[in-house]
């Protein structure tokens, strides 16, 4: 027998549907504005990006921008948060796909930094815009510090595992710091176009570094070797 839905039940169901629709619309609109902010940061830089620029870039009214974020500072914090979330999800996915082997995980972590979806001039320019402001903005420092700490600890843990496996004589913390600093430096060179660096040549340089520091785990070209039996 077909169940007849009561009017009150229909009303509840309709309200739930409308709430989900409004939520989806809100999230979609905010993402649209965040993407437009990234575009503006890449094109104009931090100081010259305005709410009006973002509204125009998103094809929306300035009132819509104010409705969702209220101020330029709130919009920029949300944009930085989004970029960190995207970056973290990207490298965590790379680790998951690499499996449990420490060398393959470190190789995957490094390779993830040069994936086109993350490593492109638009996003690199936006990152550099935020980095330039971080020193004078505690909110950015707090957000960046918390995320960077997790990422850096992941590198430290992997370096420690490789040292235990092969008996390397390096200092774990110093080696992990050097690796992360090198990756950031390659990003900077890509952003400014120094020495005609490309994503491919930057990755080759990073892979070569892995081979020089962890010779029992990596060969030239960045391919992970099988662990020593």
Ordered by start, the domain boundaries in the chain are: 1-70, 77-229
For the chain, how big is the Rg over CA atoms in Å? Answer: 23
Q: Which residues does residue 224 pair with via DSSP β-bridges, in sequence order? A: 218
User: Which CATH number is 77-229's, of 1.10.287.130, 1.10.357.10, 1.10.3720.10, 1.10.8.60?
Assistant: 1.10.357.10
Q: What is the pLDDT of residue 140?
A: 73
Contact in structure between 81 and 184 (CB atoms under 8 Å): no
Judge whether 190 and 121 are in contact, CB under 8 Å: yes
Q: Give 218's strand partners.
A: 224
DSSP H helical ranges for 167-214: 172-192, 199-213
Tens of pLDDT along the chain (229 residues) come to 445 556 555 444 444 444 444 454 888 899 999 999 999 999 999 989 999 999 999 998 889 998 999 899 999 999 999 999 999 999 999 999 999 999 999 999 999 999 999 999 999 999 988 887 777 787 777 777 777 889 999 999 999 999 999 999 999 999 999 999 999 999 989 988 777 899 999 999 999 999 999 999 998 754 443 332 2
pTM: 0.80
What is the fold, at CATH topology level, of the domain defined by 1-70? Arc Repressor Mutant, subunit A (1.10.10)
DSSP state of 119: S
Which residues have a Cβ under 8 Å from the Cβ of 84 and sit 6 or more positions away?
Answer: 143, 144, 147
> What pLDDT is recorded for position 43?
93
Q: Do domains 1-70 and 77-229 have the same CATH topology?
A: no
Element (H, E) at 83: helix 72-98
CA distance 95 to 97: 5
Backbone angles phi, psi at 218, to 5 degrees: -130, 145
Query: Would you state the pLDDT for residue 225?
Result: 39
- Rounded Cα distance between 200 and 208, Å, is 12
Give the count of beta carbons closer than 10 Å to the beta carbon of residue 167. 9
CB 105 within 8 A of CB 158: yes
């Amino acid at each position: 027998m077909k169940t007849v839905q009561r009017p009150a039940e229909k009303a509840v169901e309709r309200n739930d549907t409308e709430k989900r629709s409004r939520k989806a619309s809100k999230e979609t609109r905010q993402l649209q504005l965040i993407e437009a902010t990234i575009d503006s940061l890449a094109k104009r830089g931090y100081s010259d990006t305005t709410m009006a620029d973002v509204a125009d870039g998103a094809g929306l009214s300035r009132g819509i921008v104010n409705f969702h974020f209220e101020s330029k500072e709130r919009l920029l914090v949300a944009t930085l948060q989004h970029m960190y979330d995207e970056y973290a999800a990207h490298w965590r996915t790379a680790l998951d796909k690499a499996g449990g082997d420490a060398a393959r995980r470190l190789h995957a972590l490094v390779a993830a930094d040069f994936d086109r979806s993350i490593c492109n001039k638009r996003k690199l320019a936006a990152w550099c815009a935020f980095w330039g402001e971080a020193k004078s903005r505690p909110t950015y420092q707090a957000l960046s510090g918390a995320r960077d700490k997790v990422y850096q600890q992941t590198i430290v843990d992997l370096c420690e595992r490789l040292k235990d496996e092969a008996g390397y004589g390096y200092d774990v913390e110093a080696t992990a710091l050097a690796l992360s600093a090198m990756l950031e430096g390659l990003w900077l060179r890509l952003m400014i176009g120094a020495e005609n660096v490309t994503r491919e040549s930057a990755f080759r340089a990073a892979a070569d570094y892995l081979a020089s520091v962890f010779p029992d785990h990596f060969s030239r070209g960045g391919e992970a070797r099988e662990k020593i039996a």
